Amino acid sequence: MTDVTSPTDLVPAPRAVRGPTRPGVELTPGTTLWAGPGTETTERWLRSTLGPALGLPLLPGPEDAPGGLRLRIDGTLAPEAYRLAVAADRGIEITGGGAAGVFWGAQTLRQLLGPEAFRRAPVRPGRTRDIPHRTIEDAPRLRWRGLMLDVARHFMPKDGVLRYLDLMAAHKLNVLHFHLTDDQGWRIEIQRYPRLTEVGSWRARTKVGHRASPLWDDKPHGGHYTQDDIREIVAYAAERHISVVPEIDVPGHSQAAIAAYPELGNSDVVDTASLTVWDTWGINPNVLAPTDNTLRFYEGVLEEVLDLFPADAGPFSPFVHIGGDECVKDQWRASDTAQKQLGNLGLADEEALQSWFVGHFDRWLTARGRRLIGWDEILEGGLAPGAAVSSWRGYAAGVTAARAGHDVVMCPEQQVYLDHRQDAGPDEPVPIGYVRTLEDVYRFEPVPAELTPEETARVLGTQANVWTEVMEDQGRVDYQTFPRLAALAEVAWSDLPAPADRDFAGFERRMEAHYRRLDALGVAYRSPTGPLPWQRRPGVLGRPIDGPPPHR
């Protein structure tokens, strides 16, 4: 009895599938695994994940073992490209342009083996699996294929983060943008500043729903990752060819840090000693003081961050995200200290003061072989040449940044913020923002058409952003993220036509097979028929916005 998936049911869709439909290779407990130089991460993953799911030991064997599985690198292919060849007389061979390419080829093999390959132990021991004769040739369209995970608003325990890294790998996503600090919580241990987690990682209560909601959860909420937790997350990601880009938000979104160390705030304007970790949502007026002391403090933070997130852990590991968004400058305008700093620096206004703040850390990171990336507000007041931009307020900032010679990650709120609601129906839980259906995400185009070829090369790629103000647990994160993340993964990986010409009906058909994989992985996704009864949140106020979102 066999249980395999058609090569036409793959998500994301590969570039080419060739070969006649005839018997190929049967995987059995006797199937051997040969791994060439440089393929060790995939060899370990096959033996630790795929093998146990199917009851296959995948014992070492010679390169020419009949019906064996072989891994090799061919430098003539692009680094993330792969070729998966299945032939009765040759066995199964995964060839990648680099180690990452071999790993992505193994993810495709897993999909071909059916949904049981996504479980942790065999549910039908002894079942044979015949992989049809096929050659799949594939390569990603975009280099940066990411997920931004907000663990500051609602803390996700370490095991949940590791689980999301596995879900990303299954969809050939390669960047985890790790949003570690915000007004509502500081989630990373900094040894020289212990109060950041002793005080800043816990809030006394939490707003339930949108900030206008009258509901509160009066149970304290919090948690943080120890430095060894972070090292484990980074190493686990690297084994799956995923770069982890940490975000330490400055100078706004910083009330948790100010609650821990009041001297970081504008204490000549507000009583910063009375501030606590924020318990509600929205844009917070309490921002960092633009002083040399604040710079020194965050240099100390970043020194430890750089040690925990080494630059050689992946192609995008040199990046450090510093936020830079939604910094309300009212306190700076009222602060004698901030105004004196502005005068001492000879700056024109508070926007230039933020540019000075961001520019300092751009130079500081550059001197240590790193690259700064921030939300598109960092363009205001001027931006250092080496800095990159996460374009979230639409496409315009990304176009501006690319034309100015900056690298860009396209993640416009109106298109790929997965906290936005998925349907206009009354049962949609805590409805936030615009309706962004699975089809809307599938028709998202991350590369603006108005860019020249040279400017287009500045678009590193795209990511979906998962903000967790109204996602209190793993089930809620799953519901908002899936299945839309599968659509984003195909947009980022596959060579799709223009949005209007994309075969969404064909994608929906392939998703029928993919839902079975998600079921096997235990993902609490939104069903195509709508939320299940326990996924609804009746009576919890959201912030729905009617009408289609602006395209630009």
469 is catalytic: no
- CA distance linking residue 109 with residue 86, whole number of Å: 10
Roughly what angle, to the nearest 10 degrees, separates helices 158-170 and 504-521?
140
326 is catalytic: yes
pLDDT at 286: 98
- CA distance linking residue 142 with residue 69, whole number of Å: 28
Cis peptide before 251 (omega within 30 of 0): yes
pLDDT at 25 over 50: yes
For residues 192 and 182, is the Cβ–Cβ distance under 8 A? no
For residues 86-104, give the mean pLDDT.
Answer: 96
SS3 47: helix
For residues 140 and 95, is the Cβ–Cβ distance under 8 A? no
Of 179, 550, 544, 177, the closest CA to residue 394 belongs to 550
Enter the tokens of residue 524: 């609490």
Percentage of the chain lying above the pLDDT 70 cut: 98
pLDDT at 1 over 50: no
Catalytic residue selected from 171, 179, 241, 253: 253
Kind plus residue range of the DSSP H or E element containing 515: helix 504-521
For residues 377-392, give the mean pLDDT.
Answer: 89
488 against 19, higher pLDDT: 488
pLDDT at 315 over 50: yes
For residues 41-47, give the mean pLDDT.
Answer: 98
Q: Supply the mean pLDDT for the chain.
A: 96
Residue-wise pLDDT for 149-201, tens only, equals 999 999 999 999 999 999 999 999 999 999 999 999 999 999 999 999 999 99
| Reported confidence tier of residue 21, pLDDT bands at 50, 70, 90 | low
Catalytic residue selected from 166, 326, 351, 472: 326
Enter the tokens of residue 22: 């005839």
pLDDT at 2: 46
253 is catalytic: yes
For residues 162 and 236, is the Cβ–Cβ distance under 8 A? yes
Catalytic residue selected from 93, 182, 183, 350: 182
Phi and psi torsions of 186, nearest 5°: -110, 120
Residue-wise pLDDT for 350-371, tens only, equals 999 999 999 999 999 999 999 9
- CA distance linking residue 99 with residue 79, whole number of Å: 7
Of 421, 449, 379, 399, the closest CA to residue 549 belongs to 421
pLDDT at 5: 56
Q: Tokens 């998936």 map to which residue?
A: 5
Residue-wise pLDDT for 453-465, tens only, equals 999 999 999 999 9
| Reported confidence tier of residue 552, pLDDT bands at 50, 70, 90 | low
- CA distance linking residue 161 with residue 174, whole number of Å: 14
For residues 28-34, give the mean pLDDT.
Answer: 95
